[in-house]
């Protein structure tokens, strides 16, 4: 029996699928304008563990995770770079796929891209207008929040909080301060699509509602994403979809991962305290990043540090040492024992699951279980792979070295750090990021702290 914490009810509930023959899940995917940072990877890895678990429990799982490839941040970045949104999003989508594959995240069943669903978004907006839930004003189409009696059930915000949250984009044409955009006009030089309301582009929230409807139907089982998406994104997805579907529930279970933090601040582009997956992969194997992301409960904040990453790498060295003893297999066709699975069935208690593997590994090392012990091998591999780990041959694992093994001297590194600081002060973030990435590619990791930038060789 699977139990999951449902944000809608704020309770741990037994999971009961709508159709046990096909469990359906939607997770909000990335906005592809830049490299993913490790915080962005947390929902991908967390919901990948859930996807693997559901696949063991049910014959078929339809997992939809979108790519947001039209959004103002993408348009701004493409303009800055002097390239089309198509070339920017093609490159960053590829980088996202490569990075997530390095973290052993399985591809979702369907990966819809927003630009391929504009017609469905327009159709859904037209439905909302016809039903009196949306209105046209100055080339925009807005969702009218007071038209939905039970708006706000997911985030449980008061009217004052809703208005404060929506205040960021005050617009004179809004009927209500909490109303949000479904469609907005594009200037001639901006990307846009023809619509009944003129040439324009969709708002972010309607993108997910339309992609979910098309791929999973009006109602599905699980909807996931990071904690920061509860309001306004998921609240507005619910409003759009329920009002378009005569009140039908959008998803029965809502799941949200907590933040990855750095010194207790949310890792984010805006705070500039992030590490891209790309730069960290030069410093540690993807499985070590993945284990670090799974070391705490998915709903709790998780503080990231280079030390935590090194600890994850050291733990995997020990696990791979045990795998060497019992012998590596590329495929294992048994499920983990119930003593392990029980931890994951209890709202994905990955840290308990990891401690189960630790005990097994200690046993293998202590008892010097002889090569070819099939029971120990099957248990080790089935448990580790339930977490998406231990896919490599131990011999390859132990050959791993930080990329580049930098030949840079301390003086050269310090000069690069000074150049990066100068670029930042000149607000030339493209150049400062380039320097950081170039150093990372040579195995030098920068850490920005209150006392300035420090660095380590990978
Ligand atoms: P964004 O590109 O900001 O829309 O984020 C993509 C996904 O990453 C969303 O599900 C966010 O909730 C999630 N996310 C962003 N930053 C973090 C973080 N520091 N920790 C955990 N999840 C995050
Ligand atoms: Zn979404």
For the stretch 72-125, pLDDT in tens is: 999 999 999 999 999 999 999 999 999 999 999 999 999 999 999 999 999 999
Q: Which ligand does the CA of 71 lie closest to?
A: 1
pLDDT at 102: 97
* Mean pLDDT confidence for 234-246: 98
Residue 98 C-alpha to ligand 2 middle, in angstroms? Answer: 22
Q: Which residue, among 260, 299, 300, 264, has the nearest Cα to 277 in the 3D structure?
A: 260
The pLDDT score that the predictor gives to residue 169 is 67
From 228-232, 260-264, 371-375, the region with the lowest mean pLDDT: 371-375
Q: Is 260 in the pocket of ligand 1 (CB under 6 A)?
A: yes
Q: Which residue has the tokens 């540090």?
A: 305
Residue 358: its pLDDT value, please?
98
State the distance from the centre of ligand 2 to the C-alpha of 444, rounded, in angstroms: 35
Res. 135: pLDDT tops 70? yes
167 vs 362 pLDDT, higher one: 362
pLDDT at residue 456 greater than cutoff 70: no
Cβ of 40 closer than 6 Å to ligand 1, yes or no, is yes
Confirm or reject: Cβ of 42 under 6 Å from ligand 1: yes
What pLDDT score was predicted for residue 446? 83
pLDDT exceeds cutoff 60 at 20: yes
Which residue, judged by its Cα, is nearest atom 12 of ligand 1? 226
39 close to ligand 1 (CB < 6 Angstrom): yes
Mutate to test the pocket of ligand 1, among 38, 41, 227, 228 (most ligand atoms within 8 A of CB): 228
Cα separation, 458 vs 313, in Å, equals 12
Q: Whose CA is nearest to atom 16 of ligand 1?
A: 39
What is the pLDDT at residue 167? 63
Q: Are 106 and 391 in contact (CB under 8 A)?
A: no
Q: Quick one: pLDDT at residue 457?
A: 63
Choice between 168 and 56, residue whose per-residue pLDDT is larger = 56
Instruction: Find how far residue 11's CA is from the centre of its chain.
Output: 23
Taking CA atoms only, the protein residue closest to ligand 1 atom 18 is 39
pLDDT at 338: 97
Q: Is there an atom of ligand 1 within 6 Å of 228 CB?
A: yes
Cβ-contact 274, 267 below 8 angstroms:
yes
**How many Å lie between the centroid of ligand 2 and the Cα of residue 103?**
22
User: Does position 450 have pLDDT exceeding 90, yes or no?
Assistant: no
The residue length of the chain stands at 458
Nearest Cα residue to 380 out of 401, 398, 394: 394
* pLDDT score for 404: 63
Q: How far is CA 370 from the centre of its chain?
A: 40
Residue 106: what pLDDT? Answer: 98
Q: Say if residues 108 and 63 touch (Cβ distance below 8 Å).
A: yes
Residue with tokens 């305290």: 273
What pLDDT is attached to residue 303? 98
**pLDDT-wise least confident of 150-154, 253-257, 454-458:** 454-458
With a 6 A CB cut-off, is 30 part of the ligand 1 pocket? yes
Identify the residue with better confidence: 450 or 112: 112
Lowest mean pLDDT among 191-200, 236-245, 298-307, 392-401: 392-401
Which residue has a Cα nearest atom 21 of ligand 1?
259
Average pLDDT over the chain reads 93
pLDDT at position 372 over 70: no
Tokens 């989508």 found at: 93
Nearest CA to ligand 1 atom 11: 226
Q: Of 83, 79, 87, which is closest to residue 32 (Cα–Cα)? A: 87
Q: How would residue 393 be classed by pLDDT, with cut points 50, 70 and 90?
A: very high
* Mutation pick for ligand 1 pocket among 27, 37, 39, 205 (CB with most ligand atoms within 8 Å): 39
Contact 49, 11 (CB under 8 A): no
Residue 407 pLDDT more than 80?
no
Q: Which atom of ligand 1 is nearest to the CA of 258?
A: 21
- Ligand at minimal distance from the CA of 259 is 1
d(CA 66, CA 205): 12
Of 451 and 429, the one with more pLDDT: 429
pLDDT at 221: 99
Provide the pairing of β-strand 302-303 with 260-262: parallel
Distance CA 95, CA 102 (A): 11
Atom 9 of ligand 1, residue of closest alpha carbon: 226
Query: Which pair of structure tokens corresponds to residue 277?
Result: 């997956």
State in Å: Cα 223 to ligand 1 middle: 15
User: From the CA of 451, how far away is ligand 1's center (Å)?
Assistant: 27
CA trace torsion 27, 31, 35, 37 (10° rounding): -50
pLDDT for position 368: 64
For the cut 60, the answer to whether the pLDDT of residue 406 exceeds it is: no
**Does the pLDDT value for residue 405 go beyond 80?**
no
pLDDT in tens, 249-295: 999 999 999 999 999 999 999 999 999 999 999 999 999 999 999 99
Q: What is the largest CA-CA distance in the chain?
A: 75
- Helix (H) or strand (E) holding 266, with range, is strand 265-266
Residue 259 CB–ligand 1 contact under 6 Å: yes
- Tell me the mean pLDDT in the region 391-416: 81
Would you say the CB of residue 29 lies under 6 angstroms from ligand 1? no
> Minimum-distance ligand to the CA of 64?
2
Nearest listed ligand to the Cα of residue 66:
2
| Nearest alpha-carbon partner for 2 in 51, 65, 64, 62 | 51
For residue 227, the 8-state DSSP code is G
Give the span between the Cα atoms of 22 and 74, in whole angstroms.
34
Ligand showing the shortest atom-to-Cα distance for residue 209:
2
Q: How much of the chain exceeds pLDDT 70, in percent?
A: 96
Q: Higher-confidence residue: 27 or 159?
A: 27
Nearest residue to 340 via CA among 53, 42, 6: 53
Share of the chain above pLDDT 90, in %: 79
């Amino acid at each position: 029996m699977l139990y999951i914490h449902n944000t809608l009810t704020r309770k741990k509930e037994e999971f009961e699928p709508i159709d046990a023959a096909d469990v359906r899940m939607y997770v909000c995917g990335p906005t592809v304008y830049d490299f993913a940072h490790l915080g962005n990877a947390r929902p991908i890895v967390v919901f990948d563990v859930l996807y693997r678990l559901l696949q063991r429990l049910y014959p078929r799982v339809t997992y939809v995770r979108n790519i947001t490839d039209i959004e103002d941040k993408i348009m701004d970045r493409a303009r800055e770079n002097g390239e089309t949104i198509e070339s920017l999003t093609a490159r960053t989508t590829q980088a996202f796929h490569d990075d997530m594959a390095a973290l052993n995240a399985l591809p979702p069943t369907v990966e819809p891209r927003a630009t391929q669903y504009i017609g469905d978004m327009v159709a859904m907006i037209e439905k909302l207008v016809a039903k009196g839930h949306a209105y046209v004003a100055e080339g925009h189409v807005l969702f009218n929040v007071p038209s939905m009696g039970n708006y706000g059930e997911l985030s449980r915000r008061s009217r004052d909080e809703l208005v404060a949250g929506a205040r960021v984009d005050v617009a004179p044409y809004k009927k209500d301060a909490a109303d949000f955009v479904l469609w907005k006009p594009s200037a001639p030089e901006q990307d846009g699509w023809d619509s009944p309301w003129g040439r324009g582009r969709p708002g972010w929230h309607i993108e997910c509602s339309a992609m979910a409807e098309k791929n999973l139907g009006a109602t599905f089982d699980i909807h996931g994403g990071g904690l920061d998406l509860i309001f306004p994104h998921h609240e507005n997805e619910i409003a759009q979809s329920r009002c378009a579907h005569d009140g039908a529930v959008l998803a029965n279970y809502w799941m949200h991962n907590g933040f990855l933090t750095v010194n207790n601040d949310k890792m984010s582009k805006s705070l500039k305290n992030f590490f891209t997956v790309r730069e960290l992969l030069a410093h540690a194997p993807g499985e070590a990043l993945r284990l670090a992301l799974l070391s705490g409960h998915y709903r709790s904040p998780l503080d990231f540090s280079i030390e935590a990453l090194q600890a994850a790498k050291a733990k995997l060295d020990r696990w791979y040492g045990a795998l060497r003893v019992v012998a590596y297999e590329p495929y294992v066709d048994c499920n983990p024992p119930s003593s392990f699975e029980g931890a994951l069935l209890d709202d994905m208690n990955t840290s308990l699951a990891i401690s189960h593997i630790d005990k097994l590994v200690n046993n293998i090392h202590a008892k010097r279980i002889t090569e070819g012990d099939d029971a120990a091998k099957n248990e080790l591999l089935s448990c580790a792979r339930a977490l998406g780990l231990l896919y490599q041959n131990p011999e390859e694992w132990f050959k791993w070295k930080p990329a580049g093994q930098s030949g840079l001297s301390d003086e050269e590194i310090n000069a690069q750090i000074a150049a990066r600081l100068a670029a930042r002060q000149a607000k030339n973030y493209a150049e400062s990021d380039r320097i950081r990435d170039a150093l990372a590619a040579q195995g030098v990791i920068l850490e920005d702290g209150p006392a300035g930038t420090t660095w380590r060789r990978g």
